[in-house]
Structure 1
Amino acid sequence: MSADTLNTIFERSVRLYGEKPALKFRQKQGISVLTYRELGHRVQVLGAGFLSLGVRQGERVGLIAENRPEWLLTDLALLGCGVVDVPRGGEASLSELQYILAHSEAVGAVVEDRHQLEKIEAIRSDLPRLRFLVVMDPVENPRSPLPVYTLAEVMEQGRERLVAGRNRFLERSHQVRAGDLATIIYTSGTTGTPRGVMLSHANIVHNVRTLPPLLQITSADRFLSILPPWHAFERTVEYILLSTGASLFYSKPVKQILLPDLQTEKPTFLAGVPRIWQGLYKGIMTNIAKERAPKRWLVTTALAVGHRHRQAERERKGLLPLFTPLPPLRHRWRRARATLTYGLTKPLYALFDRMVYSKIRQVTGGKLRAVISGGGALPRPVDDFFSAVGITILEGYGLTETAPVVSVRLFGQEIPYTVGTLLPETFVKILDEEGKPVRPGEQGIIWIRGPQVMLGYYKDKEATERAIDAEGWLNSGDLGRLTLQGALQITGRAKDTIVLLSGENVEPEPLEMRLSESPYIHQVMVVGQDQRMLGALIVPDFPALETYLQKQGVSPASVEEMLRSPPVQELYRKEIHRLISSRNGFRACERIGGFVLLPREFRVGQELTHTLKMKRNVITQQFAQEIAQIYHSP
């Protein structure tokens, strides 16, 4: 049996790693463990239960829940039935759920709890194809004209089929082919029109097949799960570890939970988004700042020495990013300087490792081989910090549309400030806006081709044809460049989607449209790429603002003074909170955390096109100082 589908890969792992722990999670009575054999049996039982509900191969079923063992169990069971699951997190709004479930023509939905069940009930009249609902948690007296089952009840139906010898789950599982659709992941938020990314088994299996040997993942490894599994990144990580016989412990990205879990479970790998690593970095630096002067000096000096030592080590090995060839003499001089610096700092580095670095590493449990970072660009100070203290960061790059990994740093080849080298069978070309190749080392739009590139956008032929050309090249919409060593560096985004440090994707245009409804806002551009929160550059409607101030009895001496005045700042803060709120259908990650008022409007031919569309890259460069002010203000 060839391992060319997720079903056959999981079945093989159950056979090879039967009594090894697969999943570990908290229950009221303590930590529970599921071995591969037990997980495989539960998947069969639940899959048989889903078949008893009449699900047919190729039908779509929604999966609405947060990170928990039942999510993975349900996902594997649905895949085994040949069903296409349509995942989304519990924070999805009613309008988002309605669109996703209706557009995907879902025949059923598996939801986490009563709250999610009630959300589905509120939009049920807009979901004519829905035949059943399943709730992971126990619920009493669900009020629904549709059949509603708990997950336990579906599993009981599956057990009855197994006892009666009517289990067709394995037969159905083996009928699934590599090219069959596995999942539809909707990529945009509640306020835009989501697009359903169609990923086949073959798309995802490419990552599952190629990454374990590259990242040296084995059955001895232990992973901590802290990300939502409906993100392609976390989901693929979980498939990868299951394929290798590694174990997964369910934690949460909350300090009070995560830090104790790191100590007790001592993971060897930890996958997360930049915001998690930035939070850890800031927490450590904040604690350092609170120490007395001698200890503060010691740690600060240790980090400075660690950075110089690691940079010199990379220079010696040719692992600093280079975009243009160095003259031979300069190249030899830099290598010689790096060798000298490395030798001089080596004793100090060893001393500080015992005194400082090892204590910082102990926060992670002391057994961490690497953290895997994806879902956004890693800030340079964070990259440098982890390198200095001896924690390996394997930063990768990808998209939901590429299932998701395209490139990743490898052990011993960690070129900082890059997202590593390309996966096998994966190709990248860097083109300018006219579709012409840029010169080596220059920035352009990243185009990707490989087995992991999606089948297309569900029921959206036009969008698919815009994204993927006739030769199978996917326009990522990201800006980047290749180093001379073949590593990819991401420099920005050509498309409008903003990716926050948390990994959340946010479409700015709907936010801007809503903000423009304010009588006091003339123009606005939402920012926040690779930041912890969204911000906004706002051009006021000056006549309306002046009228407001006259009513308040305020007469500022200049435009600059007016924009800085407390009454004006408070006015715009209230307007933003009024318009961008959960009541208006916006998610928490779509809230505007800071803003700057600009003294002049965006101009045609400069910040605006002749059709009055904003040139986002131009505005970002033009107002870089103002954007920095948003994120550096207290």
Structure 2
Amino acid sequence: MSQQTMPAEAHLARLANSPSVGLRVAALERGHVRLVFHGVASVAEVTLAELHQRACSVAAGFAALGIDRGDVVAVQLPHRVEEAVAHAAALLRGAVLMPLDLSWSAQEVQRALRRSRAVALVTSAWRSHDVLRARNAADGLPWLRHVVAVPGTWPTAGVPADGIEWEILERFRPQPPAAAARPDEVALIVHAPAVGSMPPRAVLHTHASLLAELATMPPAPGVVPGRVHLAPPGAGDLTATTSLLRALVTGLPTVFLERWDATTALELIHRHHVTSVALSRFRLTGLLEAAARSGEGMAEVTECHILGAVTRAVVEQAERAGVAAYGGYSRVEHPTIAAGSPRDSLQVRGAGAGCLLPGNEVRIVDCAGRDVPPGREGRILSRGPELFLGYLEQAGEPPIVDGWFATGDRGALDADGRLYTAGVARAEETADAA
């Protein structure tokens, strides 16, 4: 069993059955923790208590707009403080949060809004104009009632006359929290790109599955004095969303980047005494090279969770810089199935192996669905507390059979229960490399 088991279970138990409860607990007990949002045009540094207060105001504004429990609220913003407030406010209101990819065209955004029947969108003032034009068209967006425009984002633009200015929502008087949603109710809709044989899809996560992910995702859960985490830029995907929510729910001091630049990231690592990072292997390589050029090294960083596929070369490169890099295995449908540890041997970390996280189970089966012995490669099936509910638009064979999710990937379990993957496609790595 992983060394993460007890801290994860203890933290999960304390957060009850809803991320909104976790948000309130963290604000009360870890309100002094500071979060840094390093943007292109500005830098914001707020305490968890301040952010929670702002989220309660926006949640009250959502209530005044008639946004109710179960309504879909879409958010398309970069990693900045308004994105964090919007995410928290949606969950506090009991709404379904739907982050949208920043790179999407206006047509892709409109398609997602239409299919999900989203009632509200929080986006930059610049992007809000296209959505409002589409909503006002004859065959537009019949369920979209509100478009909230956030000024000050890049590129700059004015708030449309028929949009709602973000600052208006932040001026509402906070109200008592809405009734906690049931664990089996949908909390999150996250869009996944085509990967291997899997087509693009909108994945539904419940309050229970989202909370399980927030409590167990690496680095090791629980608040450790002196730990500061650096999160990569957000793209509206599951990794960006959960890294943001994890900071809000667990009180992990975190530095968020709006855009990736290795030199800027290194400067922030030194300035804020960052101890852990989560990056793709391409970004980690760039960061290590920038640290070598500067002659100042990686400062207090001791570990890196590599997002996506792991190579022995990058793990060894990090090791020479004093950073223990490790990987893991996840799917959008079942996040963080397995994860490595900075305490694993270099050989294990270089192979990308990971131990199953608490509650998760994996079967390795052949083409006939029969379990294969340890060490033999086969198809990966998984189940556990983080497993998704289903897809927004289900087509074809059901994704879960007898409680097991067919991941579409191949791998093997060794005699110690570590999971090794083979041929795992990762769409985000293609984007990073470009």
Please report the TM-score for the alignment, with normalisation by the length of structure 2. 0.86
Instruction: Give, in whole Å, the separation in 2 of the partners of 1:283 and 1:219.
Output: 28
Match of 2:399 in 1: 467
- Counterpart residue number, 2:27: 14
Matching residue of 1:240:
246
| Cα drift, residue 40 of structure 1 | 1.3
**Corresponding residue for residue 388 of structure 1:** 320
Q: CA deviation at 1:216?
A: 5.9
For the structure 1 residues 381 and 401, does the alpha-carbon distance in structure 2 shift closer, same or farther, using more than 3 Å as the test?
same
1:58-107 deviation digits (Å, cap 9, x = unpaired): 01121112221211110010111111121112210133212211110111
Between the aligned partners of 1:372 and 1:212, the Cα distance in structure 2 is 7
Q: Quote the residue 1:499 is aligned against.
A: 426
Q: Is the 8 A contact 1:227 1:272 kept in 2?
A: no
Check whether the contact 2:37–2:80 (CA below 8 A) recurs between aligned residues.
Answer: no
Change in CA separation of 1:216 and 1:395 when aligned onto 2, cut-off 3 Å:
farther
Identity across the alignment (%): 24
Residue 397 in structure 1 maps to residue 409 in structure 2: no
Q: Secondary structure at the match of 1:111?
A: strand
Distance 1:177 1:107 in 2: 21
1:369 pairs, out of 299, 302, 307, with: 302
How far off its partner does 1:478 sit?
Answer: 0.9
SS class of match (1:123): helix
Contact 2:121–2:148 (CA under 8 A) maintained in structure 1: yes
Which one has more relative contact order, counting CA pairs under 8 Å at least 6 apart? 2
Q: Is the 8 A contact 2:315 2:324 kept in 1?
A: no
Separation in 1 of the partners of 2:62 and 2:325?
40
- Structure 1: state its 5+ residue gaps: 288-358, 505-530, 534-634
The equivalent position to 1:478 in structure 2, one of 409, 417, 426, is 409
Task: Give me the whole-angstrom Cα distance separating, in 1, the residues matched to 2:122 and 2:221.
Answer: 33
Cα drift, residue 400 of structure 1 = 1.0
How far does the alpha carbon of each residue in 1:237-295 deviate from its partner, in whole angstroms, 9 at most, with x for none? 3333333322122233213422221221221111112221233356678x6xxxxxxxx
Displacement after TM superposition at 1:32 (Å): 3.8
Measure the CA separation in 2 of the matches of 1:229 and 1:89. Answer: 5
Residue 136 of structure 1 corresponds to 150
1:176 to 166, 181, 184: 181
Deviation at 1:25, TM superposition (A): 4.2
In 2: Cα distance, 1:216 partner to 1:400 partner:
23
2:132 to 121, 127, 145: 121
Aligned partner of 1:443 in structure 2 is 377
**For the Cα contact (< 8 Å) 1:64–1:87, is it kept in 2?**
yes
SS in 2 for 1:280: helix
Q: CA-to-partner distance for each residue in 1:109-149, whole Å, 9 max, x for gaps?
A: 111231x1133135323311111100111553615xxx411
Given the superposition, is the C-alpha separation of residues 367 and 378 from structure 1 closer, same or farther in structure 2, using an over 3 Å criterion?
Answer: same
**Counterpart in the other structure of 2:387:** 453
- Name the count of aligned residue pairs: 408
Secondary structure of the 1:502 match is helix
Counterpart position of 1:431: 365
Report the Cα distance in structure 2 between the residues aligned to 1:216 and 1:90, rounded to whole angstroms. 30
Q: How does 1:62-461 map to 2 (within 5 A)?
A: 62-114=74-126, 116-124=127-135, 125=137, 126-137=140-151, 140=158, 142=160, 147-156=162-171, 158-159=172-173, 162=174, 167-168=175-176, 170=177, 172=178, 174-188=179-193, 194-211=200-217, 214=220, 217-228=223-234, 230-251=236-257, 252-281=259-288, 362-364=296-298, 366-374=299-307, 376-402=308-334, 404-414=335-345, 415-416=348-349, 417-460=351-394
Residues 213 and 177 of structure 1: CA distance in aligned 2, closer, same or farther (over 3 Å): farther
Q: 1:223 to 1:44 in 2, by over 3 A?
A: same
Q: Over residues 475-528 of structure 1, what are the superposed CA-to-partner deviations in whole Å (9 max), with x where a residue is unaligned?
A: 1111111122221111114xxxx4246375xxxxxxxxxxxxxxxxxxxxxxxx
- 1:382–1:275 distance in 2 versus 1, CA, 3 Å: same
Structure with the greater alpha carbon radius of gyration:
1
CA contact (8 A) 1:234 1:271 kept: no
Query: In structure 2, what is the Cα distance between the partners aligned to 1:486 and 1:53?
Result: 51
Q: Is the 8 A contact 2:120 2:146 kept in 1?
A: yes
Deviation at 1:108, TM superposition (A): 1.4
Residues 1:155 and 1:389: Cα distance change in structure 2 (over 3 Å) = closer
TM-score normalized by structure 1?
0.60
Offset at residue 4 of structure 1 (A): 1.7
Structure 2 partner of 1:33: 45
Counterpart contact for 2:263–2:287, Cα < 8 Å:
no
Distance 2:430 2:93 in 1: 30
C-alpha displacement at 1:209, in angstroms? 2.5
2:89 maps to amino acid:
A
SS in 2 for 1:400: coil
Could you tell me how far apart the structure 2 residues matched to 1:218 and 1:47 are?
Answer: 30
Task: Mark the CA change 1:255 to 1:484 in structure 2 (over 3 Å): closer, same or farther.
Answer: same
CA gap 1:193/1:446 in 2 versus in 1, 3 angstroms: closer
Aligned partners of 2:430, 2:98: CA distance in 1, in Å? 19
